[in-house]
Amino acid sequence: MKRLKPSVLAVDDDVMFRKVLEAVLGRLGMIVKTTANEKEFMSGFNRIRPDLCLIDLQLGGQSGFDLIKKIREIDAAVSVVVISGSEEESAVAHALEAGANDFILKPLDKTLLASKLSRFINTEELIEHTAEFVSPPQGNTEVLLHLEATIEAIDELGVTCIGKSLIPKGTVLKLSSGIFQEIGLEAQEVLVSITNTWYDAKSNAYGAYAEFDGVDLEFLQRIRAWLGQKCSRSS
Amino acid sequence: MAFLTDKDILIIDDAPDIRLLAQRILEGDGAHVFHADHVDAGIDFISKKSPHLILVDLNMPSKSGFDFLNYRLSSEAVKLIPSLVLSGLNDRISVSKAISLGANDYILKPFSAALLLQKVRKALKLASFQNYHFPEGERPSATILVKAEVVRISETGLKLESPIRISPEENVEIHARFLDEDLGCKDVKMRAAKVPARYQMEGRYLTEINFIGVGDAFSRQVRQTLRNWK
């Protein structure tokens, strides 16, 4: 049985860029339709329901972001990749917040484009042109991973945090927060060990109890003093 | 105030210095401490005098702390006695296994007096622990920092091995000298891929991370570095 080619719908007000996109993506095994403005795009989107949307952010004013939001109102799952000439950090952040899955800077590099698109759709041609993954050499592999979290509660043994990812029991990590300095602890970072985790369906997030690891008396005293103040004020 | 007055605590550990250290700390808080240097001696003691709490070392020759925990699971009476396991600093996997076998809590060696007392008091529910809940809207933000490993890398992203099951499309930051400087990733936004993280072995997950908002200049730098690595 012949596999259907994935479909891509793109919007960009630059006619030359649209032609290049049609040629490149066509050769990468996709069915491509390009549009010049938001109205044409939405009409195409509702008709075709493509596998992937390619959106130029610089469609004039805010319309690139608005378009992403409009797409998401109709389809939460379709892959949306932004292409933009703007290197501004806020543009990337806004695009992701609006619902984009990825963001590529112009000018487009064929290997980069193929590698990026292969994360969302599948064609043999994409696989051929995708950048290779390489193993870093020994000594160049350890990294520090930073994840966002919110602190819900503090007691003298530890902290209750909420975050988007599951941290298994027994994981040792450092927790960094301005609240520790407010408590009067010397460092902004404390070593903790996760002793309990749970899923909160209401907020679609994971809770974790992070117990202070390596507690000393001074640390305990400062936390107790802070808790004493906070708890008496709120009672 | 001595929180542990009149509490009988049994410690099962083959190391006499650990037993003596724990004894000094716990007796300082009013407890009566009893020793056993192997699991069977501990079980024998429990059959004659039921302690209020048991401390058991996981790593012992012949019968281990796990053997004790298995025995504990088989006895309705002993199951009710709070039991804490003692374990070496780098043995987190054993700790997880112990908790799943019913241990109430764990203490990593070397332990401080403060920590041992905290854990024992907590297990015996003898001290009231003040707890402050931040009202919604006033919850402080925090950053979780954990060591991880890059196993593969390309110009569009990397594959990360870590103890955390990073959720799809979660924003992350990953730092190391070779990433920030050699590959020019210092200010690059990173995000976990839509594909869920895969469980590997021994509590590790493999997550695909995408570089977001990159262009050909970045690609060229990465390609060059990766070529040099080869």
pLDDT in tens, A43-67: 999 999 999 999 998 876 667 888 9
Residue B148: both structure tokens together: 């991880």
Which residues, listed in sequence order, are joined to residue B25 by a DSSP beta bridge? Answer: none
- First-last CA distance in chain A: 70
Q: Return the higher-pLDDT residue of A25 and A4.
A: A25
Q: B167, A102: Cβ pair inside 8 Å?
A: no
pLDDT at B2: 72
Strands B53-57 and B8-12: parallel
pLDDT at B129: 66
B227 burial class (0-12, 13-18, 19+ CB within 10 angstroms)? exposed
Q: Is the pLDDT of residue A3 over 80?
A: no
Q: How far apart are CA B187 and CA B107, in angstroms?
A: 40
- First-last CA distance in chain B: 65
pLDDT in tens, B36-63: 999 999 999 999 988 999 999 999 998 9
pLDDT at B192: 95
Q: B164, A174: Cβ pair inside 8 Å?
A: no
Over pLDDT 70: what percentage of chain A? 94
Separation in Å, CA of A142 to nearest CA in chain B: 5
* A chain contacts of residue B148, beta-carbon cutoff 8 Å: 142-145
Looking at the whole model, is its pTM more than 0.80? no
Q: Which portions of chain B are predicted below pLDDT 50? A: none
Strands A158-163 and A205-212: antiparallel
Q: If you average pLDDT over residues A183-193, what whole number do you get?
A: 88
For residue A130, CA distances in Å to A230, B154, B214 come to: 55, 10, 15
Residue B140 · residue A153 · CB < 8 Å? no
State yes or no: ipTM above 0.95: no
Please, what sign has the CA dihedral across residues A94, A163, B162, A121? Answer: negative
pLDDT at B127: 57
* B chain contacts of residue A101, beta-carbon cutoff 8 Å: 169, 194
Q: Return contacts of B44-48, CB within 8 angstroms, 24+ apart.
A: B45/B10, B46/B10, B46/B78, B46/B81
Q: How far apart are CA A84 and CA A57, in angstroms?
A: 5
Q: A142, B151: Cβ pair inside 8 Å?
A: no
Q: How far apart are CA A209 and CA A173, in angstroms?
A: 12
pLDDT at A71: 95
B214: closest CA among B141, B160, B157, B173?
B157
* B chain contacts of residue A137, beta-carbon cutoff 8 Å: 229
pLDDT at B126: 62
For residue B168, CA distances in Å to A90, B145, B209 come to: 22, 18, 9
A222: closest CA among A174, A161, A153, A156?
A156
pLDDT at A225: 87
Q: If you average pLDDT over residues A185-213, what whole number do you get?
A: 89
Q: If you average pLDDT over residues A21-31, what whole number do you get?
A: 92
* B chain contacts of residue A142, beta-carbon cutoff 8 Å: 147-149, 176
Q: Is the pLDDT of residue A10 over 80?
A: yes
Cβ atoms within 10 A of the Cβ of B175, count?
A: 13
Q: B213, A103: Cβ pair inside 8 Å?
A: yes
Vertex B213: Cα angle to B207 and B216 (nearest 5): 105
pLDDT at A70: 93
Whether chain B has a CB inside 8 Å of the CB on A211: the answer is no
Give the residue on A whose Cα is nearest the Cα of B116: A215
pLDDT at B33: 96
Q: How far apart are CA B152 and CA B183, in angstroms?
A: 13
Vertex A53: Cα angle to A48 and A59 (nearest 5): 110
ω into B82 cis (within 30 of 0): no
Max Cα distance, chain A (Å): 72
Q: Return the higher-pLDDT residue of B54 and A1.
A: B54
pLDDT at B1: 59
Phi-psi map region of A35: left, alpha, beta (phi>0 left; psi -120 to 50 alpha): beta
Residue B37 · residue B19 · CB < 8 Å? yes
Chains A and B form CB pairs within 8 A to the count of: 262
pLDDT at A186: 81
Separation in Å, CA of B226 to nearest CA in chain A: 7
Separation in Å, CA of B48 to nearest CA in chain A: 33
Over pLDDT 90: what percentage of chain A? 49
Which of A134, A169, A177, A235 to mutate to test binding with chain B, by most B CBs within 10 Å of its CB?
A134
Residue B86 · residue B18 · CB < 8 Å? yes
Q: Is the pLDDT of residue A184 over 70?
A: yes
> Which residues 173-192 of chain A have a CB within 8 Å of chain B?
173-179, 189
Residue A44: both structure tokens together: 């195409």
